[in-house]
Structure 1
Amino acid sequence: MKIALTGGTGFVGKALTGELLKEGHEIVILTRNVEEKTNKENIKYVQWLNNDDHPETELQGTQIIINLAGESLGGRRWTVEQKQRIFNSRMEANGEVLNMINKLEQKPLALINASAVGFYGVSESKTFTEKETKPGNDFLAQTVEQWEETVAQAGEQYGVRTVFCRFGLILDKHEGAFPRMVLPYRLFAGGTIGSGRQWVSWIHIRDAVRAIVFAINHDRLEGPINFTAPYPVTMKEFGKTISSVIKRPHWMPVPAFALKQLLGEMSTLVLEGQKVLPVKLEANGFSFKYPTLPEALTDILQ
């Protein structure tokens, strides 16, 4: 198939590109700086999101669009300006994807769009599945709701099957937030973050990529899909598992007030959480390669 991919140079995008190439797909990666990229076998780089760009001219015959573009949630402290960048970057990308679909004579079969479990808000007591339709009331929940409402127009206006990939914490050895979470343990200074009771809904990078491919190939999957492993854990258990796998002590707690001082509102990403289950993926036959945290961390850290 011909597959268009935005955010293809991010850590999920790079891993996904490798998987799609293994399956023999033709990949078109949309990027702001095409002059810095070199086309390779079955990979073509096309410029977008700049004035006078017309990426749709290179996308005729595209069967799948995967949109992973947007400012990282955990990249910088959430100042007023940074929160606006987080919101605007996704809205700009989502709007341009809809614009491209509108201009394509032959509409794609599916749009697979990045989203986040932050939609559900935070809770220590609730368990969230895709049946939950009411978003939380914090910044991230309200932002995710608007991202998804925009992308939903692909289905409403053009009849394109649309999937919202509500990613949990994606575990990767070198990229994303996880290496920063492991570092204190490597320095013999690891311990429980905040109360330790907050839930961490996580997924191994390989399972995240496999689940995207699964969503491409299973046309019954649409709407919100939780991209999380079936066994979420509390932050305390998360830290103890890191400690056990890399054989470092779990002893130095990180108080909530210190993280709030350091990270500001962004501290909610680690001090608060939600217990999220991948009901739709499992109901449709997806099998996780790394369903439990010890399995995932053993693969990543050893």
Structure 2
Amino acid sequence: MRKIVIPGGAGYLGRSLSDYFVGLGYRVVVLSRGAESRWNDVKIVPWDGQTLGTWVHEIDGADAVVNMAGRSVNCRYTVKNRQAIYESRLYSTRVLGEAIRSVQQPPKVWINSSSATIYRHALDRPMDELMGDIGTGFSVDVCRQWEHTLLTSYTPYTRKVAMRTAIVLGRGSGGAMTPLLNIARLGLGGKMGSGTQFVSWLHLEDFVRSVQWLIDHEELDGAINAAAPNPCTNADFMRVLRFVCSQPIGMPSQRWMLEIGAFVLRTETELLLKSRRVVPTRLVASGFTFNYPYVYDALRNIVRE
């Protein structure tokens, strides 16, 4: 039986990955800050995301490690939160490298989370792994250091992938769709800001399938964009969302309104206003096909089917 270890896998995406790989017949182990237990045939093993411990035994002999650890960026970027965002990503990645280097049978592949936000604010052209321009600012710097920590870890027998994931859309509470659906159903789902900023997104089903693809395809390493091949403008995204929700009314949100709302909700407008025009050149070139390449099909599946 093949084995996958998912550090930080107790959240929305981690649970979706766990369920998917259990369904494929994998033995799934999640490293979590919670107490050791089991759910849905998944073994939960405690770790602190910073230091080596008994959890290292789970790495030994595993086929794959998929690191999902990292404090949520859905917060105000205070000094304290910035430090937590940095440390939760860099420390967990660093200690995983130490663990992989120390075991007798290191995993064949180590997939580490990164983000499509690593690219600059792009209205003019798509950003891919080959010709994309890396941006500037706090979020980009986090991604750069995160990937640097991964790629400079000395793990000579383990292939490493930095998975630059776009916003993942799926059913169920805890994901990005919940607040978007609430906004749309209240009649507030108009364009945000100018509406010209691009939204890069990925259906949850394609997210878990792309992780499996990266595990199975040994020719893929380094930076990989995990995003649907057809990013759309925010105005188009919200229009489609209103349509599948059968809500004809969509009040637009001016930038100043979003700034006030973000302050009240303790989050940042960058999550809504930055233009992420990211395309999955390397995934597509390797033969991966998306079940949901267009936003209409993705949102219709999530909301109506």
TM-score by length of 1: 0.93
Correspondence for 1:12: 13
Equivalence map 1:209-228=2 (5 Å): 209-228=208-227
String of CA shifts for 1:161-185, please: whole Å, max 9, x gaps: 1111111111122332222122122
Taking the aligned partners of 2:186 and 2:121, their CA distance within structure 1 comes to: 30
Pick which of 255-264 and 179-188 moved more.
Answer: 255-264
Q: Please state how far the C-alpha of 1:223 moved relative to its aligned partner.
A: 0.8
1:70 aligns with 2:76: no
Correspondent of 2:156 among 158, 181, 184: 158
Give the 3-state SS of the residue equivalent to 1:266 in structure 2. Answer: coil
Equivalence map 1:46-125=2 (5 Å): 46-49=45-48, 53-74=53-74, 76-125=75-124
Taking the aligned partners of 1:113 and 1:181, their CA distance within structure 2 comes to: 27
Correspondence for 2:22: 21
Q: Please state how far the C-alpha of 1:269 moved relative to its aligned partner.
A: 1.2
String of CA shifts for 1:242-296, please: whole Å, max 9, x gaps: 1111110243111111212332682111011221111111111111111111100
Amino acid paired to 1:296: A
Give the 3-state SS of the residue equivalent to 1:152 in structure 2. Answer: helix
1:289 aligns with 2:291: yes
* Residues 39 and 13 of structure 1, relative CA distance in 2, 3 Å threshold: closer
Correspondence for 1:252: 251
Taking the aligned partners of 1:134 and 1:253, their CA distance within structure 2 comes to: 30
Give the 3-state SS of the residue equivalent to 1:15 in structure 2. Answer: helix
Q: Please state how far the C-alpha of 1:147 moved relative to its aligned partner.
A: 0.1
Give the 3-state SS of the residue equivalent to 2:141 in structure 1. Answer: helix
Give the 3-state SS of the residue equivalent to 2:268 in structure 1. Answer: helix
Runs of 4+ in 1 over 6 A off after TM superposition: none
Q: Please state how far the C-alpha of 1:29 moved relative to its aligned partner.
A: 1.3
Correspondent of 2:277 among 272, 275, 278: 275
Q: Which runs of 5+ in 2 are unaligned?
A: none
String of CA shifts for 1:22-63, please: whole Å, max 9, x gaps: 11111121112234x23764x322221176733112332112
Give the 3-state SS of the residue equivalent to 2:69 in structure 1. Answer: coil
Taking the aligned partners of 1:39 and 1:169, their CA distance within structure 2 comes to: 26
Amino acid paired to 2:243: S
Q: Is the 8 A contact 2:242 2:250 kept in 1?
A: no
Q: Is the 8 A contact 1:107 1:158 kept in 2?
A: no
Q: Is the 8 A contact 2:228 2:290 kept in 1?
A: yes
Taking the aligned partners of 1:159 and 1:127, their CA distance within structure 2 comes to: 34
* Residues 110 and 52 of structure 1, relative CA distance in 2, 3 Å threshold: closer
Number of aligned residues: 298
Correspondence for 1:207: 206
Taking the aligned partners of 1:17 and 1:40, their CA distance within structure 2 comes to: 9
Give the 3-state SS of the residue equivalent to 2:209 in structure 1. Answer: helix
Equivalence map 1:27-38=2 (5 Å): 27-35=28-36, 37-38=37-38
Q: Is the 8 A contact 1:68 1:114 kept in 2?
A: yes
* Residues 158 and 17 of structure 1, relative CA distance in 2, 3 Å threshold: same
Identity percentage over the alignment? 31
Equivalence map 1:166-177=2 (5 Å): 166-174=164-172, 175-177=174-176
Q: Is the 8 A contact 1:189 1:249 kept in 2?
A: no
1:128 aligns with 2:127: yes
Q: Please state how far the C-alpha of 1:299 moved relative to its aligned partner.
A: 0.5
Taking the aligned partners of 2:188 and 2:29, their CA distance within structure 1 comes to: 44
Amino acid paired to 1:294: Y
Equivalence map 1:231-246=2 (5 Å): 231-246=230-245
Q: Which runs of 5+ in 1 are unaligned?
A: none
Q: Is the 8 A contact 1:49 1:96 kept in 2?
A: no
CA RMSD, Structure 1 to Structure 2 (Å): 1.8
Taking the aligned partners of 1:127 and 1:285, their CA distance within structure 2 comes to: 20
Taking the aligned partners of 2:194 and 2:28, their CA distance within structure 1 comes to: 44
